[in-house]
Amino acid sequence: MRRNAANKKPLIITAAAAALLLLLVLLGRGGRAGFVENAAGTVLAPIQKAASAVTGAVGGFFRNLFNTTDADIENAKLKSELALKNRSLMELEELKKENERLRALLDFSSSAGIESFVTARVIGRSPGVYFRVFTLDAGRAKGVDVNMPVVCPEGLVGIVTEVGSGWCKVTAVADSSVSVPVMVERTRDTCIARGVLNASGDQNRMELHYLPADRSDLVPGDALITSGIGGVYPKGLRLGVVTEVMTGEKSGVNAYIAPSADFAHLEELMIITRGGENG
Amino acid sequence: MRRALLALCVVFAALLDYFILPLILPARILPDIMIALLVSLGVLTGLLPAVPIAVGAGVLLDIAFNRFIGMSAIPYFFASLIGAAFYSRFYADNPIIPSAAAAAAAFLKELILLAALLLSGGKVNGVFALFALHVLPASLLTGAACIPIRILLKKNLLRSSFRLDIDYTR
């Protein structure tokens, strides 16, 4: 009898784990994080930040290693001679680059007329090809809420889809579940830009849909900006440029778009808040 | 001590999957080290502790990185079950079965994620190309990654602690 009970222990724990998992899946559907998710996310955020910083520094080291201009070679030689100062030099360089990125963000905010925003750092990103989600180190405590647009100096990056007290998750505009109301900057035609999972070719390529049928003067190179329709994305944020115009496409695709944002190299981002002061 | 080492292995697998491999392998073909680890653990120890570790690690990683809870946890749960299905049913040093099980679990994970994407309204351009260029190579890489991971687990983590749970009188 006791042996039977012992043999059933793994099955009972497995069933309990499956039930717990099912419960969490059914309860966790984005938006504002619940207590457990919020607490876990708050604990994990500093760990993510540290891991992100370490891997970023390692990546920067390898990028510098393969950069072979004269200045870099001389720099590398000097660094080898001044090994003790190497670390502080790298830190200074990182700070300088960060300063440049933040300055670009500030310039962008003033040129785009963004008055209320929160800056945040990317501390995690979902791996794989199916979903394009970033975790940022700003949350409800800084006034961040779901459906707030997120931008970088190059243009629109995505939208906040989940928020905890000190973190939030951003779904990129190139994610295949995201649609953005846009307009062609030159012709002012309104249409919808949609992310798509491209199995081959450019992973970031987006599609343009619902362009008015009587307007066929779209040309490669045309810039697309958010139209402001729907109220989620403010009008005038740059989304990308048309790379290829499709004619007679049965799938309803009018054109392909290259997004302005470089999703692989995002570090500091700006979350456009609806109220409050600049963060 | 060995349980601490196992926890370290889980953390290191998560670091590899979410930070290091995407950095050094910018191509979209990434092995899933966590799945390889969980399948190896399931094959070597059975349902316990593979299933609780799979669900716990999966939920935490989903909270930290993924769009929905379950995107990692469900594939990890099935990976540990697939591994445990072969527990004590094959010659202990056979590297092929855990490796094939890990590849199958990784393939299942890709199918689950693809289904989640389509159910959430996503669109895929070129499903066959996706399988040929991403799903199959990633699954095979996961299977290959399982071989050294299983050897590491067998040699370093399973000498005492988890074998106490095995009932040899059956």
* Chain A neighbors of B23, CB-CB under 8 A: 55, 58-59
Residue % of chain A over a pLDDT of 70: 81
* CA atoms within 13 A of residue A64's CA, in its CB half-sphere: 18
∠ CA(B139), CA(B144), CA(B150), 5° rounding?
115
Q: Is A37 within 8 Å of B28 when comparing Cβ atoms?
A: no
Q: Is the domain of A41 the same as that of A167?
A: yes
Domain range annotation of chain B? 2-159
Longest dimension (CA), chain B: 55
Instruction: Name the phi and psi angles at A5, rounded to 5.
Output: -65, -40
Write the residue in A18, A135, A196 that is nearest to B125 by C-beta.
A196
Q: Is the domain of A217 the same as that of A152?
A: no
What mean pLDDT do residues A245-257 have? 80
Using CA atoms, how far apart are residues A105 and A133, in angstroms rounded to an integer?
21
> Does residue A5 lie in a domain region?
no
Q: Is the domain of A167 the same as that of A245?
A: no
Quick one: pLDDT at residue B138?
Answer: 92
CATH number assigned to the domain comprising residue A44: 2.40.10.340
Amino acid identity for residue A76 in this structure: A
Q: Is the domain of A189 the same as that of A107?
A: no
Using CA atoms, how far apart are residues A81 and A74, in angstroms rounded to an integer?
11
Q: Is the domain of A168 the same as that of A184?
A: no
What mean pLDDT do residues B52-59 have? 91
Identify the sign of the CA torsion A182, A171, B20, A48. Answer: positive
Q: Is the domain of A123 the same as that of A220?
A: no
Domain interval for residue A113: 35-172+265-272
With 0-12 / 13-18 / 19 or more C-beta atoms within 10 angstroms meaning exposed / middle / buried, residue A223 is middle
* Chain segment A85-140, per-residue pLDDT in tens: 666 777 777 788 778 777 777 777 777 777 788 989 999 888 888 888 999 999 99
Chain B interface test: which of A14, A47, A178, A244 (most B C-beta within 10 Å) = A14
* Chain segment A168-189, per-residue pLDDT in tens: 999 999 998 899 999 998 888 8
Residue B92's pLDDT band (boundaries 50, 70, 90)? Answer: low
Q: Is the domain of A87 the same as that of A152?
A: yes
Q: Is the domain of A71 the same as that of A153?
A: yes
Q: Is the domain of A166 the same as that of A183?
A: no
Q: Is the domain of A159 the same as that of A197?
A: no
> Does residue A25 lie in a domain region?
no
Q: Whose structure tokens read 């009932």?
A: B167
E-assigned strand segments in chain B: 124-125
Q: Is the domain of A158 the same as that of A185?
A: no
Neighbours of B65 (CB within 10 A): 25
State the average pLDDT for chain A: 80
Contact call for residues B14 and B23 (beta carbons, < 8 A): no
Amino acid identity for residue B150 in this structure: R
Q: Is the domain of A44 the same as that of A116?
A: yes
State the nearest Cα–Cα gap between B48 and chain A, in angstroms: 6
Q: Whose structure tokens read 């769009």?
A: B67
> Does residue A277 lie in a domain region?
no
Q: What ipTM describes this predicted complex?
A: 0.78
Strand partners, A244: A256
Three-class DSSP category at A137: coil
∠ CA(B89), CA(B95), CA(B98), 5° rounding?
60
* Chain segment A21-40, per-residue pLDDT in tens: 777 776 666 666 666 677 77
> Does residue A8 lie in a domain region?
no
Using CA atoms, how far apart are residues A150 and A145, in angstroms rounded to an integer?
11
Number of domains in chain A: 2
CATH number assigned to the domain comprising residue A218: 2.40.10.350
Correct CATH for B2-159 of 3.40.220, 1.10.1760, 3.30.70, 1.10.287: 1.10.1760
**Selected residue with higher pLDDT from B30 and A69:** B30
Chain B: residue whose CA lies nearest to A264: B26
